[in-house]
Amino acid sequence: MKLTERDVELGLLRELYEECLAGKGALVVVNGPVGCGKTALVRAFAGQVVDRGGTFLSVTGAASESLDRLGLIDQLVTAIRARGAADGPPAATELTKAAEASGRVPRALMQRIHRSVAELAGHRPLVLHVDDVHFADEASLQCLRYLVRRIDALPVLVVLTETAGHDRALATLHAETLHLPHCRRLRIGPLTVDGVATYLAAHPATRATLPQHAELWARASGGNPLLLDALVEDTAGRGPAEAAERGAPRPHEAFRNAFLRCLHRGEPTLLAVARAAAVLGDSVTPALIGALLGADATSVRWSITELRAAGLFSGGWFGHERARLTVLADLPGPDLTALRARAAELLRESGAPAAVVAGQLLAAHDSAKAPWQLDILREAAREALAAGDIGAGVDHLRHASRLCRDADQEAEVIAALAEAQWSIDPVKTSRYLPQLSRMVRAGLLTGSDALVVVKQKVWRGEFTQADDLLRIIEAREGAGHGHAWDTGPEHGWDTGGPEQGRGTGGPEHGWDAGGPEQGRGSGGPEQGRHVGGPEQDWHVGGPEQDWHVGGPEQDWHVGGPEQGRHTGAEHGWDPGTERSCDAGPEHAWDTAGYPPAVSRSDSALVRLWLSFCCPGLRRGTRTTDGATDRTTDRTTDLTTDRTQTGAVTATPAALAGRPAAMVPHAFLTLGAGLVAAERNRPAGGLLRGSGTASPFADPLVALIYLTGAQRLDDTMLQAERLLDDPRNRRLPMGRALLETIRAAAALGRGDVVAAGEAAGTALDLVSAEAWGIAIGLPLALAIRAATERGDAETARACLDVPVPMVMFGTPFALPYLHALGRFRLALNRPRAALRDFESCGELMAKWQLDAPELVDWRNDAVAALIALGDRQRARERVEEHLARLGDRPSRARGTALRHLAAVSPPRHRLRLLEEAVRVLDACGDGLERGRARAEAESARRAARAPADVPEPMAPPAARWDAPSPPGRDALPAPLAELTDAELRVGALAAAGRTNRDIADRLSITVSTVEQHLTKIYRKLKVRGRADLPASITGLSEVS
C-alpha cells in the first residue's frame, strides 16, 4: 500500500524518535478505521528507524488469541530473546506458570520484562510496535501498561496501533497512559478526493485516469486505502485493452476480498449492520436496520458512524453496488433468506412501494407464504408493466403463480404472465397456452384475460383453436353476433385449420400445402418446398446475370389520400387539400389505445383481427345454431358508414361488429378513427400499442395509416423516438416491431441501406420462431433491401430462414412472396418472378386484400413482362393498373407511368416520365423518383439526338445498378470496420457537410445521421468530425 496524505503523521513519529535518541521515551497510540493504513504508516517509519541504526520490534494481536492469557507478551519475550538480551527475559516456564494462574500478573514478571526492554534499548534506541492492540488479552495489556508508565527516561518508543471502535476494550489502557506527558494519540482517517487522485496518479495502472474521475474512485473506495489499492489491482488485472478506458472503477475480486477483510476485522455489530443495510438496499434507514436486527437505535447509529468513518459506507450507504452485493454473497443462505422475508414484512408495514416489497419476496425464495404476498406481487407486476419494465413484471407474476390460493387466481395470474412474457420472448409464452386454453373452456378465464389466449393463438397461427376459444368467449358475453367462417375446401381451408398442416389455399387458386407438385409450395428451403412452381427451385441457383436493383414500391402501406379512399376531414385528412388537419397524421402518435366505442368490445376487435390474419375464416358467417350461412363479402358496406353528405367515414362500432371487414379499407378507417378519437393521448402511443386486438395490431394499423398518408418522415422519426425510449430497450419483441416499422418507412423513402439495417436488427432481436406468422414482414423487408442494394448473399440468407407453413395462409405471406419475386427478377429470372407476382395477385383477390399499398404486384408483373420481351401484355397490364389507380398521386401510379413509358412509342416517353417524376416527387420515394428522373433525362437526350440514331433503351431494371462501394480488402484497417452506411455518412461529414445536408443527400433522418456518426467516432477512436481522416472522403461514391 502506497502512503498518501500521511506526511504529517510520519513527521510526528520522526520527531518522537528524535527524542528517543536523546534518551526520552514515549508512547504513541495510532488510532483509525480498519484498512486506513495504520500498519502501513508504522512500517514506513520502521524502515527509517532501521536505516538510522535503531532496533525495531513488532508483535501483533489477533482475535483468535484474545482469550490466551499473556499471549501477546509471549510474542514480545520471544522477540527480545531473539535479540540476545544479556539480562534474559522471563523463561518459558515462568510465563507458562503465570499464564495458568488467575488474577493479576505477578509483579516480578512485569519487572523482568521491563529490565529486558531497558537492557535492549541500552545498546541502540528501541522502537516497540504492537499492532492491533485491541485484540490483546487483559494480562498482556496489564504488562504493557506497567511498561509504558516506566519508559519516559529510556530510549524506547512504544507504538500501539488500534482500530477505531474498540474504545471499551482499551478503556483502562487509555485511562492509565494517555494523560501522561510522554504519551500521545495519533488519529488517521480515509483519504480525501485529492489524496485519491494523487494515489491514482502514482500507480502505473491508473496513471492515465482523468482527474475528474477521482471522485468516482473516492466514492467507490470511501477513501479507504486498502479498498483503493484493491480497486487499482482490479484495474491492473483487466489487461491493456480494458484498462485503457480510464473512467469509473470496476471492482472485482481484489475489491471483494478487501471489503470482506475490513468488515470481518471490525466489531461484530458493524458486520451485522452492514448485512442488514445490504438486504434492505435502496429502502435502508437506521430505523429499519434496528427493526430487522432487533437492535437499539443507539447501537445502530454508532455502527453506521464507524462504517462511514472506515469508508465502508460512502456517500450515505454503500459507495458501490459491488460492495453491497459482496456483503449479500457473504451471508449464509438460511440467514439471507430469513432476513429477506423479515425485510419484506417490515417494508410492507412501513408503506413501501409494492415493487420494493416484491423484490424482497422474490429474493426470499418462498421462505414464507403469507396471504398478503400474492396481492403485493400482483400489484408490483401491474406497476412494472405500466412502467415498461416487462422483465420485472414477468418475475413478479411468475412468483405470484406459485402463491395462488384458488383456481380463479391462478388463471388470472398465468394469463397476465403469458401476455407479459410475449413482449420479451413469444416462444416462451407457448408453455402456458395449453393450461390457459383449458381454463377458458372451464370458465376460469373470462373477458380480457381470456382474450389473451386467443391473441397468442393467432400469433402462433393456431387459427382454428383461436376461433373455437373466441366463440366460447363471445357466447358467454352474449354477443350474439354471427362470425365469418368457412370450412369448405373450395375456399382452401378445412376444419383442421392451417396449424394442423392442412392446405392454405385451394388448388384452383394455385396454392396448396401438399408439396411442390401442386405448383405452390408453402415451406422454407430446408424442406425442399418451392414457390412459383417446381421448376423454380427455392434455392435460387445458377450464375446471376445482369444483377440489378428493382423498384421500392411500398409493400405495407394501405390507405392514404393518394389511393382515393376517403376517411373524411373529421378524421384528420382533407382529400381536397391533401394536407393534414388538426386530427391528422401528425397526431397519429397521440394515442395508446382504441377509441372508446371500440374498446368497449374487445372481443369484437380480436374477432376483427383474427379475420384479417386468417382470411379463410371470412368466407361466410356462422349462425348461433352452428349452421353456416354463406354470404358474399360486401367490404364497403361492412367497413364504413356514410354521413349525410355522402362521405365515407370510419365507424368503430361498425368495424367491431363486422368481422369480415378486416381489409385495407378497414385498416385505413380504423387508423383514422384512432387518430381522431385519441389525439390528445401521450406521444408515441399508437406505435407503442395497447394490445387490445393483438400484440402487434396497433403498430401495424399505425404503420399502414401513416405511411399510406405519406407521412414517412413522421413514421421514421417516431419509430426512432420509441426505440430510444428506455422502457422499450428492455422489450426485444417490441423493439423488433419498431425496427420493422422503421425499415418499412425507410424503404418507402428509398433509403435501402437504412431499411436493410433496420430489418436486419429486427430479425436479430428475436428468433424467427418468436415472430410467429408475422415473420414474413421483416424477412420481406430485408430481402427487398438486399435486392435493391445488389446484395445477393444477404437476400439468399433471408430466404433460407425457416418460416412456418401456416404463414402462407395469411396476408403476411404476400410481402414475402413479393420480395421473392423481386429477387428472382433481379437475378434475370423474369418467368419465375412473374409466377410469384401473379400468385400474390391471386391470393390478394381471393382474400379481398387487393390493394397496391399492401403489395404492388401489378407493377412488378409488368416489369417481369418487359424483361420477357412481352411488350404487348406489359402495356395492357400497366394501362389496366393505371385505370384502377385513378388520378390521385401515389407511388404505384408513379411507377406505373414509368413502366408505361418503357413500352410506349418514343414520342410519348418524355411526357409520361415527366408526369411520373411529378407524382413520385409528391410521394417522397427517393429511389423510384431517381429512376424516373434518370429515364426522363435519357428520353430528353434521345429527343435531341438525330432521328436516324435512336438511343437504345436498356431493360427497365438493368439500368439502375448502383455503383459498388470499394472492396473491404482495399480499405485501411480502421475504416474497414465501418459499414457501407457509415462510410457514406463519414465521407460527407469529413467533406464538411452538416447533419441536415447529409440527411437530405442520403434520404435519411438527422437522427440516423447522428447515430451513424456516434458509431464512426467510436470505431475510429476520434472525438468529432474534425478528427475524421481525410482518406475517408475517397472511399464512398457519395463524396
The C-alpha cell that represents 147 in the structure block? 511498561
Burial label, 613 (beta-carbon count in 10 A; 0-12, 13-18, 19+): buried
DSSP 614: -
Q: Distance between CA atoms of 371 and 532, rounded to whole angstroms? A: 61
Q: Are 649 and 641 in contact (CB under 8 A)?
A: yes
Q: Are 65 and 71 in contact (CB under 8 A)?
A: yes
More confident residue, 1009 or 682: 1009
DSSP assignment of 220-252, as one string?
Answer: HHTT-HHHHHHHHHHHHTTHHHHHTS-SS----
Pairing mode, strands 126-131 and 156-163:
parallel
pLDDT of residue 941: 85
Residue 560 has pLDDT above 60, yes or no: no
The C-alpha cell that represents 572 in the structure block? 384528420
Strands (E), 445-574: 483-484, 573-574
Residue 546 has pLDDT above 60, yes or no: no
Pairing mode, strands 183-187 and 579-580:
unpaired
Nearest in space to 847 (alpha carbons), one of 880, 818, 817, 809: 809
Do 244 and 393 sit in the same domain of this protein?
A: yes
Domain that holds residue 143: 7-189
Cβ-proximal residues to 862 (8 Å cutoff; 6+ apart), any chain: 874, 877, 878, 881, 896, 899
Do 912 and 976 sit in the same domain of this protein?
A: no
More confident residue, 769 or 582: 769
Q: Does a structural domain hold residue 780?
A: no
Residue 513 has pLDDT above 50, yes or no: no
pLDDT band at 714 (very low <50, low <70, confident <90, very high): confident
Q: What is the CATH number of the domain that holds 128?
A: 3.40.50.300
Q: Distance between CA atoms of 138 and 70, rounded to whole angstroms? A: 8
Q: Does a structural domain hold residue 833?
A: no
Where is average pLDDT lowest: 206-215, 324-333, 886-895?
206-215
Q: Are 860 and 821 in contact (CB under 8 A)?
A: yes
Residue 796 has pLDDT above 90, yes or no: yes
Answer with the one of 950, 984, 1016 that is the final residue of a domain.
950
Nearest in space to 575 (alpha carbons), one of 594, 562, 559, 589: 562
pLDDT tens sequence across 310-325: 999 987 899 999 999 9
Is the backbone of residue 278 left (phi > 0), alpha (psi -120 to 50) or beta?
alpha
Nearest in space to 745 (alpha carbons), one of 772, 768, 722, 728: 722
Nearest in space to 191 (alpha carbons), one of 30, 15, 33: 33
Residue 554 has pLDDT above 80, yes or no: no
pLDDT of residue 536: 36
Mean pLDDT of 796-823: 93
Q: Distance between CA atoms of 120 and 698, rounded to whole angstroms? A: 91
pLDDT of residue 771: 93
Q: Does a structural domain hold residue 718?
A: no
Q: Distance between CA atoms of 559 and 704, rounded to whole angstroms? A: 7
Q: Does a structural domain hold residue 56?
A: yes
Q: Are 770 and 427 in contact (CB under 8 A)?
A: yes
Q: Distance between CA atoms of 470 and 965, rounded to whole angstroms? A: 53
Q: Are 190 and 311 in contact (CB under 8 A)?
A: yes
Do 208 and 176 sit in the same domain of this protein?
A: no
Residue 157 has pLDDT above 50, yes or no: yes
DSSP assignment of 857-900, as one string?
Answer: HHHHHHHHHHHHT-HHHHHHHHHHHHHHH-SS--HHHHHHHHHH
pLDDT tens sequence across 137-148: 999 999 999 999
pLDDT tens sequence across 398-430: 999 988 988 999 999 999 999 888 888 889 988
Q: What is the largest CA-CA distance in the chain?
A: 134
Cβ-proximal residues to 745 (8 Å cutoff; 6+ apart), any chain: 703, 707, 712, 715, 716, 719
Do 392 and 271 sit in the same domain of this protein?
A: yes
Q: Does a structural domain hold residue 103?
A: yes
Do 577 and 661 sit in the same domain of this protein?
A: yes
Percent share of the chain, pLDDT over 70: 73
The C-alpha cell that represents 904 in the structure block? 410506349
Q: Map residue 146 onto helix, strand or coil.
A: helix
Q: Distance between CA atoms of 903 and 302, rounded to whole angstroms? A: 92
pLDDT of residue 20: 94
Answer with the one of 950, 985, 1011 that is the final residue of a domain.
950
Do 160 and 302 sit in the same domain of this protein?
A: no
Side-by-side strand order, sheet with 126-131:
55-60, 126-131, 156-163, 26-32, 183-187
Q: Distance between CA atoms of 815 and 810, rounded to whole angstroms? A: 11
Task: Output the CA angle 3-8-10, nearest 5 degrees.
Answer: 60
For the chain, the domain total comes to: 5
Residue 266 has pLDDT above 80, yes or no: yes
Do 145 and 270 sit in the same domain of this protein?
A: no
Q: Distance between CA atoms of 1038 and 4, rounded to whole angstroms? A: 57
Do 212 and 355 sit in the same domain of this protein?
A: yes
Residue 454 has pLDDT above 70, yes or no: yes
| Candidate ranges 358-372, 487-501, 609-623, 821-835; pick with highest mean pLDDT | 821-835
Q: Distance between CA atoms of 250 and 232, rounded to whole angstroms? A: 9
Q: How many Cβ atoms sit within 10 Å of the Cβ of residue 871?
A: 13
Q: Phi/psi of residue 842, each to 5°?
A: -65, -45
pLDDT band at 961 (very low <50, low <70, confident <90, very high): very low
Q: Are 527 and 803 in contact (CB under 8 A)?
A: no
Q: Are 674 and 605 in contact (CB under 8 A)?
A: no
Q: Map residue 158 onto helix, strand or coil.
A: strand
Q: Map residue 213 onto helix, strand or coil.
A: helix
Q: How many Cβ atoms sit within 10 Å of the Cβ of residue 283?
A: 18
pTM for the whole structure: 0.64
Q: Does a structural domain hold residue 1024?
A: yes
Q: Map residue 61 onto helix, strand or coil.
A: coil
In 631-775, where does DSSP find H-type helix? 635-639, 652-657, 664-677, 685-688, 697-708, 712-724, 732-748, 752-765
Helical packing angle, 463-477 and 602-613, nearest 10°:
160
Percent share of the chain, pLDDT over 90: 45
pLDDT of residue 86: 53
pLDDT tens sequence across 215-246: 999 999 999 999 999 999 998 876 544 544 55
Task: List 307's β-bridge partners, or say none.
Answer: none
Q: Are 658 and 605 in contact (CB under 8 A)?
A: no
444-450 long-range contacts, Cβ below 8 Å, gap at least 24? 444/407, 444/408, 444/410, 444/411, 445/411, 445/412, 445/415, 446/473, 446/476, 447/473, 447/602, 448/602, 449/411, 449/412, 449/415, 449/416, 450/415
Do 313 and 418 sit in the same domain of this protein?
A: yes
The C-alpha cell that represents 698 in the structure block? 396497433
pLDDT of residue 782: 96
Q: Distance between CA atoms of 198 and 211, rounded to whole angstroms? A: 9
pLDDT of residue 43: 95
Which H/E stretch holds residue 289? helix 286-293
- Number of alpha carbons in the 13 Å side-chain half-sphere of residue 862: 25
Name the average pLDDT for the chain.
Answer: 77
Do 208 and 170 sit in the same domain of this protein?
A: no
Cβ-proximal residues to 609 (8 Å cutoff; 6+ apart), any chain: 455, 458, 662, 693, 694, 697
Q: Map residue 998 onto helix, strand or coil.
A: helix
Do 54 and 134 sit in the same domain of this protein?
A: yes
For cell 373477458, the residue is 447
More confident residue, 533 or 620: 620
pLDDT tens sequence across 81-116: 888 765 556 665 677 777 677 778 888 889 999 999
Do 247 and 181 sit in the same domain of this protein?
A: no
Q: Does a structural domain hold residue 856?
A: no
The C-alpha cell that represents 957 in the structure block? 431494371
Q: Distance between CA atoms of 388 and 685, rounded to whole angstroms? A: 13
pLDDT tens sequence across 987-1029: 888 877 788 778 777 777 777 888 888 888 888 888 777 778 8
Q: Distance between CA atoms of 967 and 631, rounded to whole angstroms? A: 60
Q: Does a structural domain hold residue 219?
A: yes
Q: Map residue 157 onto helix, strand or coil.
A: strand
Report in angstroms the alpha-carbon separations of 929 from 465, 915, 932.
46, 11, 5
In 390-548, where does DSSP find H-type helix? 390-400, 407-422, 426-429, 433-442, 447-460, 463-477
Q: Distance between CA atoms of 489 and 513, rounded to whole angstroms? A: 13
Q: Distance between CA atoms of 1013 and 1025, rounded to whole angstroms? A: 8
Task: List 317's β-bridge partners, or say none.
Answer: 314
Nearest in space to 853 (alpha carbons), one of 898, 895, 900: 895
Side-by-side strand order, sheet with 483-484:
483-484, 620-622, 628-630
Mean pLDDT of 890-895: 90
Q: Distance between CA atoms of 796 and 819, rounded to whole angstroms? A: 11
